[in-house]
Amino acid sequence: MNTHLEEAVCSGVRGSAEETQELLVETAELARGTGYEGYIHLKVMPGAPRHLVERGAESADRLSVNVETLPSRMEELSSTKHYRNDIERRLRWASGASPSSGVTTQLIAAGESDREVFDEVRRLYGRFGLRRVYFSAFRAIPGTEMESRKATDPRRDRRLYRVDWLTRVYGFDSEEVEGAFRGGSLPDDPKTYLAGRNGLRVDPSDASREELLRVPGIGPGTAGRILEGEDVRFPRRSRPFLEGQSRLDDFS
């Protein structure tokens, strides 16, 4: 059996939310019952009962509960969903069920400012211990009430992912990230912007992992190779360089 297969059942509602969730859970249980040991990412539907959320966590590696939007905009987008009752309550149940690979969510970036999205995402991480947040750009669906709304620039997704990685992966604290916002908006590459704005110098011969991760283009893998002396571009000897002058292509 293909151990890289992922659960890919459509999350459209069939009947009620409870009926749909039961079908999703039964699919995961069937896969496990037939010997499948690969990764299963299971969707939790708004309105799903708690016992099915907890039952799903027994078969799935990861649960996802999509918030879709900010609390202040839920009523505009849906007349049937309540953010606190339908979304956040399921996030709390999913987090409490402790699936092995954690809980994720998705947010569709539309009319909110980058700052509003960032603040809400940090709140969700802190309150529910999410593993990560996925972002999608808004695209209007023909025939819906929002079909005339302008699509979101796809570059915005990249900005949000990049600022999310600063705090989630690269070790930046929220105060550091504050410097990347210009009004309510982010630059296309927040990490490069902060490096140039701060004018910091990093010497790879004795820099710590935390210092290296502040250099544009250096991620955890490259930082580890530099520290182990395995990256020929940055031997562990005196060779200072200015963060703001580095290019992403140089450190990929």
135 closest CA partner among 112, 156, 113, 165: 156
- Domain positions in the chain are 61-180, 199-251
Give the three-state DSSP class for 135: strand
Q: Identify the pLDDT of residue 43.
A: 95
Q: Identify the pLDDT of residue 248.
A: 36
Q: Please give the average pLDDT of every successive group of 10 residues along the chain, which has 252 residues.
A: 39 75 96 96 94 97 92 72 87 94 91 90 94 87 72 85 93 90 92 89 85 90 86 60 42 35
Task: Work out the burial of residue 35: count CB atoms within 10 Å of its CB; fewer than 13 is exposed, 13-18 middle, 19 or more buried.
Answer: exposed
Read off the pTM.
0.79
Q: Give the H/E segment covering residue 166.
A: helix 155-168
Q: If phi over 0 gives left and psi between -120 and 50 gives alpha, with beta otherwise, what is residue 247?
A: beta
152 closest CA partner among 184, 114, 179, 190: 114
Per the CB < 8 A criterion, the answer to whether 106 and 64 are in contact is yes
The tokens of 156 are what?
């915005």
Please give the CATH topology (third level) of the domain spanning 61-180: Transcription Regulator spoIIAA (3.30.750)
35 closest CA partner among 14, 11, 5, 63: 5
Q: Identify the pLDDT of residue 246.
A: 44
Q: Identify the pLDDT of residue 1.
A: 37
Q: Identify the pLDDT of residue 138.
A: 80
215 closest CA partner among 230, 233, 184, 229: 233
